[in-house]
Structure 1
Amino acid sequence: MFRHPDHRLLLVSVATSQIGLQIAFFSVSIIAVVVLDLSESQIGVLNAMDQIALALFGLLIGAWVDRMRRKPIVVVSESLRALVMLSVPVVWMLDALAAWQMYAVMFLLGLVSVFFDVAQASYIPMLIDNDRLTGANSHLQGIRSASDTGGPLAAGPLVAALTAPVAVVVAVVGFAVSAFSVWRIRFEEAEPVRPEQPNLRSEIAQGIRFILKDPIIRTVAFSSAWCNLSIGAFQAMLVVFLIRDTGQTSAAVGLILAGSGVGGVLGAVLVGKISAKAGMGRTALVALALSGPGMAVVAMSGPGWGAVCAFLGQILYVAAIVAFNVNVVSYRQAVTPDPIQGRVNATQRVITWGSMAIGSILGGFAGEAVGARAVLFIAAGMLFAGCLALLRTPIRTLRELPEEGSGLREVR
């Protein structure tokens, strides 16, 4: 993958975009907890704003993306993400930073990210052949995870030295570099075939039907919705728990969150080798079963050197989630025809990420009632339970990627 110039540009885009996104989310979290001193419930709603945008507009955006070339959408959406985040330091310099603006920034960031995510996920299988798709997704996930490490590691000292609003400028640069990298990709994307009489309702329904008719995609979608409910609650209360309950500094929190990047790299590196021996489906199931215990390790951490415990828990939790996602996303991309990639990807995101928004809001209110640490333990138990729903589904028989439209290759 690294030998092809277009693929290298895609890797640069993924890396810089992910670093920018991590710094943006980290800085907004620090602003919410430290600068604006928002309550747990307010922070839960804030964390849900980007996912609410997906839930409201995801299906429409999926249909629109399938009507247009994907590369321009990626470039424009990255540019818009940069402009949205640039508003934070501008308003801060005017001494007008407020909670409502953080809500607006997160919602707009989420809305533009829906275009970006759906278009990028639909563009990748056009750029990369099916026989190299799983390996490419592993590479891309490894780059994302390495960026997830670098983002928080850089964000902690940046926030400490420059303050959170100014650190956002680094995120703006990341989005700009990503947009430029995709713009330079030379692959000529075919103009999509548009229906003579466009009908958004029927086009959206086509994406939904495709997910519902495939037994693996269907069961993964609804199981992932349950799991993302717990992940939303966990992520909403994680920074609150680390700063308010354990007394960690912003630099230490950045280090702990970087554990997710380390775990992501490990998961991306190992998933291919393990899947080749054990099968894609079995690997995904075992990985999902390990993610909940990883969350529980984070919840058991304490002050001071307890940061090491939280760091290790993040590694286990994210490595497992990444291994699960690489396999199920590769399957979905491989069996979905190119003309409906956008609608299928958008529908999947609405189902799974919409539940994350609900989890963030519920996690925030639960944090006020029972405390952030208790929410993390509850989320860990819910995530572990999510794998149980998949044990008796066709995913356990998935050995390797099928050809497009050929169905499953089962373990004999």
Structure 2
Amino acid sequence: MSTGGTAERHLLVRNGNFRALMVSSTFGVLGNAVAAVALPVIAAVELDASNFEVAALAGMTFLPWLLCGLLIGVWVDRLPRKPVMLVSLSVRVLVLALLPLGYWFGFLSTPLLFVAAFVAGVAGVFFQLADAALVQQAVTADELMEGNGLITGSGAAADAAGRSAGGWLAGAVGASNTLIVQLTTSVIALVAVQRLDVKEIVRPRSDHRIVREMWDGFCYTFSTAPLRALLLNAALWNLGGNISASLLVLLVLRTLGESELWLGLLLAASSIGGAVGGVTANSLGERFGSGPLWRWSMVPGVLGYASLLVLSPGVGMLWGILGMFVMGASVSWNIVVGTSFRQRVCPPDMMGRLGAASRTVSWGMLALASLLAGVLAETVGIREAVLIGVLIACTAPLVALLGPLRGVKRLEDLAEAPAPAARAEATRNP
């Protein structure tokens, strides 16, 4: 009787460790959302940076994935994850506190903005890899879709609140001052992480060189057709989609001459859509199958980004709000299915390296997309650059619909047999 009652209770109620992870993740996303609006506005308005600098700044928090994601993944697998999360949050607080101080005391500059964004990005790599590894250990395999859906949904809702608040606060009190919100939410996330009580699975100390372990993680990421398809889909989407997303500030503030409030509303719409997508992913996966949900998720996402091409001042901005909502829901469906599959199939002692290798490729595309967006904005124009991003993003659903997973009903059925790289790893480390 008691067992049945426990099973019926909501995951947030019955699992305190998952609850702590969700609180830390949600408040972390809330603060990052405010910063995501504030940083480019600081560059465009307070520092009068060039179009290239404003677009490229968006990639600074993702560039660490490209430069050192694999190395950090090895360290996350070697260390207890909870201390890693605590230290990374502390570093982020200290670094981002420099920006409002610089604004108040007159030493804020574009180079400082770029350095702070990059260092905060390095701390974010440590935090997100450790967080994903702990989620895998805090819930059962059958709870992964539900747990990831809740985290994605609550994070998207927090992102919506943060971006809309960030847009309003940037206009009301100044973009630099809005970063105080990010500092506050990081402290709340710190407290939540401190309450974690997970018996962690950490790799025994290995005599393998770091380069060898980095290579093992990279090989595992490409070891099966499902993992390769998930990665290629994400990489193409991030490359094309983030070209368009990186230009949103310039499109709204400079091309259309609209206010930071409209910018915040557009960003919030994508996050609200993400919240809806996150909380509906598990039920949609059960009804239609995780395979079809993943394959078709990016089709409406492309149409959502395409709505940016028809934006016009005033009521014409509403098309973008609708499109960004649809895009956000699509991305959440894709992320929940892909993340849950990786967590289900990956051994716990490989989780940091799998996350690092996959995000080095897929999130590294976010950094490259921002740099490319800056170049395109300067050479062909802002609207034309958005169009190029949309066309590249169109290749992502093609990979899903025509690739090796085109006939799979349930991706989780593919997770029963260990991947070749996992078997090889087990052989080397009996």
Instruction: Confirm or deny a common fold (TM above 0.5).
Output: yes
Deviation digits for residues 276-314 of structure 1 (CA, Å, limit 9, x no counterpart): 122111111111122111001122111112222111111
Change in CA separation of 1:27 and 1:199 when aligned onto 2, cut-off 3 Å? same
Letter in 1 for 2:120: L
The match for 2:324 is 314
- TM-score, normalised via structure 2 length: 0.91
Answer whether contact 1:282 1:395 (CA < 8 A) is retained.
Answer: no
Could you tell me which residue of structure 1 aligns to residue 357 of structure 2? 347
Pairs within 5 Å for 1:15-54: 15-54=26-65
Give 1:375's match in structure 2, choosing from 385, 398, 402: 385
The equivalent residue for 2:126 is 115
SS in 2 for 1:386: helix
The size of the alignment, in residue pairs, is 407
CA contact 2:77–2:203 (8 Å) conserved in 1: yes
1:172 paired residue number = 183
- Hey, what's the Cα distance between the residues in 1 that align with 2:418 and 2:397? 23
| Structure 1 equivalent of residue 252 of structure 2 | 242
Q: State how far apart, in whole Å, the 2-side matches of 1:317 and 1:190 are.
A: 36
2: CA distance, partners of 1:404 / 1:351 = 22
Partner of 1:216: 226
> What is the rounded CA distance, in whole Å, between the counterparts of 1:207 and 1:402 in structure 2?
23
Q: What pairs up with 1:119-134 in 2 under 5 angstroms?
A: 119-134=130-145
Q: What is the SS of the residue equivalent to 2:222? A: helix
1:335 aligned residue: 345
Deviation of 1:12 after TM superposition, in Å, equals 1.3
With the length of structure 1 as denominator, give the TM-score of the two structures.
0.95
Match of 1:183 in 2: 194
Gaps (5+ residues) in structure 2? 1-10, 420-430
Task: Tell whether the 8 Å contact from 1:335 to 1:402 is kept in structure 2 after alignment.
Answer: no
**Fraction of identical pairs, as percent:** 28
- For residues 218-260 of structure 1, the C-alpha deviation after alignment (integer angstroms, 9 at most, x for no partner) is 1221232222111221121011101111122112211111001
Any idea what SS the aligned residue of 1:198 has? coil
One-letter amino acid of the structure 1 residue matched with residue 373 of structure 2 = G
Contact 1:237/1:363, CA 8 A, preserved across alignment = yes
Matched residue type, 1:282: P
Q: How does 1:270-281 map to 2 (within 5 A)?
A: 270-281=280-291
1:395 to 399, 405, 412: 405
Distance in 1 separating the partners of 2:140 and 2:92: 29
Shift of 1:406: 2.2
One-letter code aligned to 2:24: S
What per-residue deviation string (whole Å, max 9, x for no partner) do you get for residues 65-111 of structure 1?
Answer: 10011111111111111111111011111111111011101111111
Tell me if structure 1 keeps the 8 A contact 2:21–2:131. Answer: no
User: 2:111 matched to 1:100?
Assistant: yes
Which residue number corresponds to residue 301 of structure 2?
291
User: How far off is 1:370 after superposition?
Assistant: 2.2
The one-letter code of the counterpart of 2:405 is I
**Greater CA drift, 346-355 or 380-389:** 380-389
Letter paired with 1:148: D
Q: Which moved more, 1:6-15 or 1:309-318?
A: 6-15
Q: Determine helix, strand or coil for the equivalent of 2:394.
A: helix
- Give the distance between the partners of 1:226 and 1:180, measured in 2 at CA: 37
Partners of 2:168 and 2:396 in 1: how far apart? 36
Cross-structure match for 1:157: 168
Contact 1:298–1:311 (8 Å) recurs in 2: no
**8 Å CA contact retained: 2:241, 2:305:** no
Q: Distance in 2 between matches of 1:57 and 1:398?
A: 36
1:5 & 1:393 partners in 2: Cα distance? 39
Deviation digits for residues 296-345 of structure 1 (CA, Å, limit 9, x no counterpart): 11221111122221111110111111111110111011100001100000
Mapped partners of 2:213, 2:158: distance in 1: 35
- AA partner of residue 147 (structure 1): A
> What is residue 425 of structure 2 aligned with on the other side?
none
**Given the superposition, is the C-alpha separation of residues 190 and 339 from structure 1 closer, same or farther in structure 2, using an over 3 Å criterion?**
closer
Secondary structure at 1:406's aligned position in 2?
coil
What amino acid maps onto 1:308 in structure 2? L
- Name the CA distance, whole Å, in 2 between partners of 1:329 and 1:6: 19
> Separation in 2 of the partners of 1:42 and 1:229?
18
* CA distance, structure 1, for counterparts of residue 16 and residue 233 of structure 2: 37
1:282 to 283, 292, 305: 292
Q: Does 1:143 align with 2:154?
A: yes
1:26 positional shift: 0.8
CA-CA distance at 1:191 after TM superposition = 4.4
Q: How big is the shift at 1:184?
A: 0.9
Aligned equivalents of 1:395, 1:177: Cα separation in 2: 41
- The residue identity in structure 2 corresponding to 1:103 is F
CA distance in structure 2 between the partners assigned to 1:47 and 1:159 by the alignment: 17
Deviations 1:352-375 (A, max 9, x none): 111221111111111122222222
Q: Is the contact between residue 345 and residue 415 of structure 2 (CA under 8 Å) also seen in structure 1?
A: yes
| 2:387 maps to amino acid | F
Report the Cα distance in structure 1 between the residues aligned to 2:391 and 2:198, rounded to whole angstroms. 45
Q: 2:286 & 2:196 partners in 1: Cα distance?
A: 31
- Distance in 2 of aligned mates of 1:81 and 1:391: 39
CA distance in 2, matches of 1:5, 1:123: 13
User: Relative to structure 1, is the Cα distance of residues 230 and 400 closer, same or farther in structure 2, using a 3 angstrom cutoff?
Assistant: closer
